[in-house]
Amino acid sequence: MSWIRIANANAIPLREGRNVDLGDREIAIFNLGDRYAAIDAACPHRSGPLCDGIVTSNGAPSLAGGGVTGHAVVCPLHGWRIDLETGHVLKPEVPVKVNVYEVLVRDGIIEVEFPDDLENEKAA
């Protein structure tokens, strides 16, 4: 496991995502306001660019209590909704998920943890 310095925190505007080139893979990093989230860049359906999707709530009850409890991104190609916390596809209901990466901001720089093995890839 190693942390990779990606970019200045302000490189990703609020509630937007950006595609990041990590050599053998591409990931999408999202600015959720209070934190960042990182998942695989390609939608598991037809490889749509998730970084260009609209960030929404993941459907967890949140509005009543104020503040959003969870986030999801909607793929711009065919509307698949993917949970940014777990990587699970929320819509449609299919047992598919994308990889989720640990991400944090240190000294104004977004850093992503590059895992040695990923659940998805272990199976493959």
Partner 1 sequence: MGVTGCPRNCAEVTVKDIGLVGQEGSWQIVVGGAAGKHVRKADLLITVNTTDEALEAAMLFFQYYRENGNYLERTYDFVERVGIEKIRKETVYAPAKQKKALLKRLQKAKALSKDAWLEREAPVNPTQFVQIQPIGTVIQ
Residues that bind partner 1 (CB under 8 A): 2-7, 11-13, 18-24, 26, 29, 109, 111-112, 114
What is the closest distance, in whole angstroms, from the C-beta atom of residue 108 to partner 1 in the complex?
Answer: 11
Nearer to partner 1 by Cβ, of 96 and 105: the residue is: 105
Nearer to partner 1 by Cβ, of 22 and 32: the residue is: 22
Q: The tokens of 33 are what? A: 């306001």
Nearer to partner 1 by Cβ, of 113 and 119: the residue is: 113
Nearer to partner 1 by Cβ, of 7 and 94: the residue is: 7
Cα 49 to Cα 124: distance, rounded to the nearest angstrom: 22
What is the closest distance, in whole angstroms, from the C-beta atom of residue 67 to partner 1 in the complex?
Answer: 24
What is the closest distance, in whole angstroms, from the C-beta atom of residue 53 to partner 1 in the complex?
Answer: 15
Candidates 86, 83, 118, 112; CA nearest to 21 is 112
Exposure string of 22-36, with b = 16+ CB inside 10 Å and e = fewer, is eeeeebbbbbbeeeb
What is the closest distance, in whole angstroms, from the C-beta atom of residue 83 to partner 1 in the complex?
Answer: 21
Q: The tokens of 41 are what? A: 């860049």
| SS3 of the chain: helix, strand, coil, percent, to 5 | 10, 45, 50
